[in-house]
Amino acid sequence: MHSGRHFSLPIDPWPQASLAERTAVGVVLTLLLLLPACAVGATLFVISMVATYIAWSYESGVCLREVIGRRAGGFVGRHRRIVRKI
């Protein structure tokens, strides 16, 4: 059942390439892999900063509304509306 051919993969894909050429190809491939990774990292950082700012501004708005309500002589009811005392 064996055919007369022997199939094998070459161990060295570029037998004539010098060490400098192999290093250059390796560096280029590494940089091509690092660029998307850095872009994803920067995108996640920006998204987390925007989410943090939104959460902070919401909390600040709630606190500011309560302070204004107390200064105006009213109080904040169950539905987060300022109700004036009469």
Separation between Cα atoms, residue 66 and residue 60, nearest integer Å: 10
* H-only helix segments in the chain: 19-71
Both structure tokens of 86: 């009469």
What pLDDT, on a 0 to 100 scale, did the predictor assign at position 58? 85
| pTM for this entry | 0.50
Residues in the chain, pLDDT under 70 = 1-4, 7-10, 12-13, 73-86
Q: Are 65 and 80 in contact (CB under 8 A)?
A: yes
Residues 46 and 34: beta-carbon distance below 8 Å: no
Residue 66 pLDDT = 83
Q: Which position has the token pair 């005392």?
A: 85
- pLDDT, residue 7, reads 67
